[in-house]
Homo-oligomer: A and B are copies of this chain.
Amino acid sequence: MYKTLISFTVTLVLVSGQTWADDAALRTKAENAGLKPIPLAYQRVNDNALSQEKLELGWMLFFDPRISASGLISCNTCHNLSTGGDDNLPTSVGHGWQKGPRNAPTVLNSVFNSAQFWDGRAPDLKEQAKGPVQAGVEMANDSVSVVKTLNSMPEYVERFEQAFPGQADPVTFDNMAKAIEVFEVTLVTPNGPFDQWLRGNDDALTDAQKAGLELFVDKGCTACHSGVNVGGQGYFPFGLIKKPGADILPPDDKGRFEVTKTVSDEYVFRAAPLRNVSLTAPYFHSGQVWDLQQAVSVMALSQLGVELSDEQAGLIADFLRSLEGEQPHIGYPVLPVETAATPRPRF
Contacts and interface: CB of A to CB of B under 8 A. Distances in A.
B335 A82 contact: yes
Contacts of A344: 290
Given A71-B89, A97-B97, A345-B89, A291 B340 contact: yes
Contacts of A230: none
A70 B93 contact: yes
Contact of A96 (B63, B87, B97, B330): B97
B332 A330 contact: yes
Interface string A320-347: 0000000101111111011010001101
B338 A82 contact: no
Copies of chain A in the complex: 2
A80 B93 contact: no
A65 interface: yes
A66 interface: yes
A88 B63 contact: no
A281 interface: yes
Looking at A63, A83, A96, which has the most chain B CB atoms within 10 Å of its CB?
A83
B82 A63 contact: yes
A81 interface: yes
Contacts of A281: 338
A83 B332 contact: no
Interface in A51-101: 63-66, 70-72, 77, 80-84, 87-90, 93, 96-97, 99
A93 B329 contact: no
B72 A89 contact: yes
A54 B250 CA distance: 45
The contact size tier of chain A is 35 or more
A93 B63 CA distance: 18
A278 interface: yes
A279 interface: yes
A235 B329 CA distance: 42
A107 to B, nearest CB: 13
Interface in A134-151: none
Contacts of A333: 82
A296 B96 CA distance: 33
A314 to B, nearest CB: 13
Contact of A71 (B70, B72, B88, B347): B88
Given A278-B337, A332-B330, A344-B290, A72 B84 contact: no
A341 B105 CA distance: 23
A332 B85 CA distance: 12
A344 B290 CA distance: 9
Given A70-B93, A82-B64, A334 B327 contact: yes
B327 A329 contact: no
A278 to B, nearest CB: 7
A208 B333 CA distance: 30
B334 A332 contact: no
A345 B88 contact: yes
29 contacts: A64-B82, A65-B80, A65-B87, A66-B83, A70-B89, A71-B87, A71-B88, A71-B89, A72-B87, A72-B89, A72-B93, A81-B332, A82-B332, A82-B333, A82-B334, A83-B337, A88-B345, A89-B347, A90-B345, A96-B97, A99-B347, A279-B337, A281-B338, A290-B340, A291-B340, A327-B334, A329-B331, A330-B331, A330-B332
